[in-house]
Amino acid sequence: MTAPVIELDNLRVRIGKREILRGLNLELRSSTVGLLGPNGAGKSTLINTLLGFWKPLSGTARVLGFDVRTDTRRIRELIGFMPESDCFIANMSAITFVRMAAELSGLPPDAALERAHESLFYVGLGEARYRKLGAFSLGMKQMAKLAQAIVHGPRLVILDEPTNGLDPEARIRMIRLIQEMRALGTMNILICSHLLRDIEETCEEAVILKAGVVVHHANLEEERASNRRFVEIETEGDDGTFAAAIERLGCACAVTTPGRIKTVLTEGIEIRDIYRLAADRDVQLRRLNYRRDSLEDIFLKAMEK
Amino acid sequence: MAVYKRTYRAYSGPTTNPLWRFLVLQRYAMKGIFRSRMLFIGYLACFIGPVLAACVLYLNQNAGILAQIGQKPGIISINGTWFMNFLTFQGVLAGLLTAFAGPSLVAPDLTNGALSVYLSRPFSRAEYILGKGSVLGALIGSITLVPALVLFLIQASLMGMSWFEDNIFIAGGSFAVCALMMALFILLGLAMSSWVRWRIVAGALILGVFAAGKAFGAVLNAAMSTDIGHYLDLQHLLGVVATSLFQNPVPDESISALTASLVLVLVCGLLLLLINRKLRVCEAAG
């Protein structure tokens, strides 16, 4: 089994007198992981710790199998980081900026120039690559930040609020780009975002932090799959016998209020079996919904903990 | 294949030696500095002194030309004092160059939050300081240390091996004084650039540290009838060290060369602490 992308073992980080991360335990193996949490939850501190900017007070954190305490340089070779805030040199052209970033990661000058061109074309800034970064729009700056994060071919890309401040069109472009990067299969992606929809659209796994602890760790693919088995039905007719018939199929079933049934379909039972039962018992199905437990529901539940 | 037709692919080729990676930063910073035409012209003007000094050395030993004005070779005594005066003049120019070039090194990176781009890579804070400092180091060294050593070699070639052997302390002194001066100017330039975002103010402060130290030291000496004010005068401290290293006659001096050197090293240490305090990614990222 390959090493987890990120592995935290009772990680505690203190900044000043305040303990920001309070014993995090996590093992992240998915290629795209979303990091969620309200302001002050410790998301940025966790990212900064993974990058080696903060030293753990106790516990360990490993990135791609390397310890953040002892292998900081090796980790930084394998990581590409797109910060949330502005991080550019205004009087530099995009191509020079991305090339310099590649050279600082160790690429020889010629290879760095070639990769800088490729990265800027990849993020859609090919035509604007000789323009000064100071003259870029916010969306273009975000793309330039992404280009510098991936130019050296990192194995883990950390994106801090990648869609922050983007208009809907630019946001969609960024989301598509992240989905494309995920499909490439060559890099793992850790996305820190306040926008739950962004995480939902791009990530396989989500971690929710609150006050320095992990309050929820969900595999979004599994959550989606389990949601497809949970069905809410509104009926007209004898819902008691109908519910009993569903139970006889082996499905857990409950009549919440008259005319409203909730059931969890077991393996091998499909929606058409429910239709058949209803037809046999002359019960009208007024409404049939899969449970849509969105990430927002998960997040709100986690915040209540 | 045209670059725009290629898709993204991970890089798997060779990488450069991490030991010399700080030179990447130096190269890009140097390009940025020389975009200013005024600074470039100013930098070129700093070589007028060394060229004139080289002419003086040549003419001083040219019997033919000196005979025409009724003089013999060696009209000017080329010794430690001559080299010290040369370095004092070039040192003033180095200070001005630092005041013009220094503020543009770190301040733009802090203003734009670019530190996180540098330091999230396999590139440490020490390498960042080394990379940015080497820009000023190259500029200052090229107008102080390099000309001084070249002039020393010119004079040695004109005077012969015995002069070289007798005056080798001049080369050592030039090296030591220039190294101390470079360290002081580099750290002062970087410290002001990291603490003061406004370039003009940062440049003025670099020069102001020397002027204010001199003025405050003089006031302190006069008011308290003491010599401790000299410890605040960086130019004076450099002068004390240079006087000793160039084996010049020591005036009535209350500070020894060793003490002056230690004070300068202490100042450099304080400046390094100031730089280190400001160059933090997490602070820069807010």
Domains of chain A: 6-220 (3.40.50.300), 228-294 (3.30.70)
Is 0.85 exceeded by the ipTM? Answer: no
> Is A122 near chain B, with CB under 8 Å?
yes
Residue A82 in this model has a pLDDT that exceeds 70: yes
* Of the partner residues B8, B14, B15, the one whose CB lies closest to the CB of residue A119: B8
Determine the distance in angstroms separating the CA of A276 from the nearest CA of chain B, rounded to an integer: 51
Mean pLDDT of all residues belonging to chain A: 88
Choose among B201, B203, B271, B197: nearest CA to B234: B271
Quote the pTM value: 0.83
Burial (CB < 10 A; 0-12, 13-18, 19+), residue B125, is middle
Q: Do A91 and B32 touch (CB under 8 A)?
A: yes
Residues with Cβ < 8 Å from A199, sequence gap 6 or more?
Answer: A34, A36, A191, A193, A206, A220, A295
Report yes or no: A194 and A171 within 8 Å, Cβ to Cβ.
no
Domain boundaries in chain B? 19-64+76-285
Q: Do A48 and B282 touch (CB under 8 A)?
A: yes
pLDDT tens for residues A223-274? 776 666 788 889 888 888 888 888 888 888 888 788 888 888 887 888 888 8
Q: Do A85 and B285 touch (CB under 8 A)?
A: yes
For tokens 């670059």, the residue is B3
Strand order in the sheet with A230-236: A252-257, A260-264, A230-236, A284-290
Encoding tokens for residue A266? 């077991």
Question: Which pLDDT does position A151 carry in this prediction?
Answer: 93
Q: Do B25 and A90 touch (CB under 8 A)?
A: no
Give B-chain residues touching A179 at CB under 8 angstroms: none
pLDDT tens for residues A3-21? 789 999 999 999 888 899 9
Q: Could you state, in chain order, the average pLDDT of each consecutive group of 10 residues for chain B (286 residues)?
A: 64 89 93 90 96 94 85 86 95 94 88 88 92 95 97 94 93 96 95 89 90 90 85 91 87 83 95 90 46
Question: Which pLDDT does position B24 carry in this prediction?
Answer: 94
Instruction: Give the mean model confidence (pLDDT) for residues A45-55.
Output: 92
